Amino acid sequence: MSDHILDLQNVTVQFGGLRAVNDVSIYIDPGEFVGIIGPNGAGKTTIFNLITGSIPPTEGKILFKGQSIAGKRSDQLCHLGISRTFQNIRLFPEMTAYENVALGLHARPQYSLIEAFVRTPAAVRTEEQSSIAVYELLDMVGLKSLALERANSLPYGLQRRLELARAMATSPELLLLDEPAAGMNEDECDDLIRTIRNIHTEMGYAIMLIEHHMNVVMELCEGSRLYVLNLGQILTAGTPQEVQGNPHVIKAYLGEKDESYV
């Protein structure tokens, strides 16, 4: 009887002749912080897509909070507690930062369609209350003052933060972060590490992180676990130190310090 919040058991994904994911088993416990690293094309984002229900596994089981997620739509999984950010930022470009986060908060409208047309006092009140929650989330990522800016007018780094806030707005129990540090310089990475650590401590989510910036991964996974993927299979798993010392990993992937594999 395991109490992993997420349990991938011998999962395989086959696209025609290509085995994008080959007999992979990964788990994460509630509140844990787990990293996934590996060269490009190793299947990392595919795994995230499996977890969010965007693609079905060809073989294997995926359990979330003990229940199989097979056949569930992505929005249903979101309401069960899974949320994510994307490798290529996928904000709603013409909506403001406020609206992006608000959407995460209330993807399931709190009032009926009729009330959407006829603004009852009750509907207005719920909007005002959620407004407070939205500003709190924006504050957590440092975007409160930019709440009314269009998402596509924000600089890159802030867009990543906004995506984080939006993902948090869905009140997840499991948060999937797909290369949040992509395109960032050292200072921005340090900021990001601090922000993510903060979120993890304050909100207590289980967090799964895909990342190429080695220092980001190693720092955030300090005291926790790391999976290394290569060519759709798990090469090894362990603490950051164990992984760094593993000759196979070094051979397949880790080049010089702090350089992403290209």
Partner 1 sequence: MGYLNTILVLGGIQVIAALGLAILTGYTGLFSMGHSVYMALGGYAAAVLYMELGVPFILALILGALFAGLCSMIIGYPTFRSQLRGDYFAIATLGFAEAVRLVLNNTYKIINGAIGYLGIPKLTSPWLVLIAMLLAFVLAHSFTKSQWGRNCLAVKQDATAAQMMGVNVLKTQMTALFVSAVYCGLAGGLLAFYMAYLTPAMFTVTKSSDLLAAVVFGGMQSLVGPAIAGFVLIALPEILRPLESWRLIMYGSLFVIIMVFRPQGLLGYYELELGRYLAPIRAAYARLGIRRKAKVDAA
Partner 2 sequence: MTLFFQQLVSGISIGSVYALLAVGYALVYSVYNFTNWAFDAFMVVGAFAGFYTISLAHLPFWLATLVAIIATVLFSVAVERIAYRPLRNRNAPRLFMMISAMGANIALINIMNKAFGGAFRSFPEVTTGSFQLGGVAIGKMDLLAAVLSFAALVGLYLFLYRTKAGLGIRASAIDMTTASLMGIDNDKVAFLIFGVTGGLSAISGVFYGIKYAVYPYLGSMVTIKAMIASIIGGLGSLEGAVVASLMLGIIETMISGYASSIYRDLFSFSLLIIILLFLPNGLFGKKNADKL
- Looking at 21-29, 46-54, 223-231, 249-257, which segment touches partner 2 (CB under 8 A)? 46-54
User: In the complex with partner 2, which residue's Cβ is closer, 32 or 211?
Assistant: 211
Q: Which is nearer to partner 2, 85 or 246 (CB)?
A: 85
Site string for partner 1, 102-141 (x = CB under 8 A): xxx-xxxxxx-x-xxxxx---x---xx--xx-xxx--x--
Contact 60, 76 (CB under 8 A): no
Strands in 81-197 per DSSP E = 82-84, 174-178
Residues in the chain: 262
Tell me phi and psi for residue 48, to 5 degrees.
Answer: -60, -45
| Residue 259 interacting entry, from partner 1, partner 2, none, C-beta within 5 to 8 Å by type | none
Q: Which residues contact 108 (CB under 8 A, 6 or more apart)?
A: 79
Q: Choose, by CB under 8 A, the member of 14, 30, 39, 55 that binds partner 2.
A: 55
Of residues 198 through 257, those in contact with partner 1 by CB under 8 A are none
What contacts 24+ positions apart, CB below 8 Å, involve 48-55? 48/84, 48/176, 48/178, 48/208, 48/210, 50/8, 50/11, 50/13, 50/21, 51/6, 51/8, 51/77, 51/82, 51/84, 51/174, 51/176, 51/208, 52/77, 52/78, 52/82, 52/84, 52/176, 53/77, 55/13
Both tokens of residue 103? 């959407």
- Least Å distance, CB 151 to partner 1, is 9
- Between 187 and 202, CB nearer to partner 1: 202
DSSP state of 96: B
Taking CB under 8 A as the rule, which mask of x and - marks residues 84-123 in contact with partner 2?
Answer: --xx------------------------------------
Does 54 contact partner 2 by CB under 8 A?
Answer: yes
Q: Among 238, 185, 231, which residue's Cα sits nearest to residue 34?
A: 238
The Cα 48–Cα 10 span in angstroms is: 15
Given 11, 28, 49, 192, the residue binding partner 2 (CB under 8 A): 49
**Sites of contact with partner 1 (CB under 8 A):** 52, 54, 73-75, 78-79, 83-84, 86, 90-95, 99, 102-104, 106-111, 113, 115-119, 123, 127-128, 131-132, 134-136, 139, 147-148, 150, 166-167, 169-170
Binding site for partner 2 (CB under 8 A): 45, 48-49, 54-55, 86-87
